[in-house]
Amino acid sequence: MALSTGNNKIKTAIFISGMGSNLKSLIKFSKLKKSPIIIKMIISNNSKAKGLQYSKIYKIKKKVFDFKNALSEKKIINELKKNDIDLICLAGFMKILSKSFIKNFKGKILNIHPSLLPKYKGLKTHEKAIKNKDKYSGCTVHFVNSKLDSGKIINQ
């Protein structure tokens, strides 16, 4: 994945499951002249995800898949490749991708995780931080690998 130059922006798919607050921020960022990305697709595992409304508002292609088996994953991979997607960003996406899926997009999947990794991998990160009386909390952007929330950290 090369950095973008001129109109050569990185074709990005955003995966969501819910409200789409991170998606909205990513869309706004993508509209900036200096942004290296262009959002070509919104993909969700939840047909009722409120974030899907942004596809209509910003005229971005959307697809809903069940992510339940290898066949549906194959359909998703085909759709991403058909649309020349270079980068996938998991933004509030509540499904774990298979090793096979990750291998197909090795080094091209980012996740926005709501804790300062390596602390609080997985779900209920805010509850864990409160329960442990943490003085600081935050989020982590990291590369996705086959181990849950364990990929190389990009920023916190």
User: Which residues are part of the catalytic machinery?
Assistant: 113
- Give the count of beta carbons closer than 10 Å to the beta carbon of residue 57: 9
Q: Decide if 115 contacts 125 (C-beta within 8 A).
A: yes
What b/e readout covers 63-78, taking b as 16+ CB neighbours within 10 angstroms?
bebebeeeeebeebee
SS (H, E, C) 15-35: EECCCCHHHHHHHHHHCCCCC
Query: Does a cis peptide bond (omega within 30 degrees of 0) precede residue 36?
Result: no
What contacts 104, CB < 8 A, 6 or more positions away?
77
Alpha-carbon distance 82 to 150, whole Å? 29
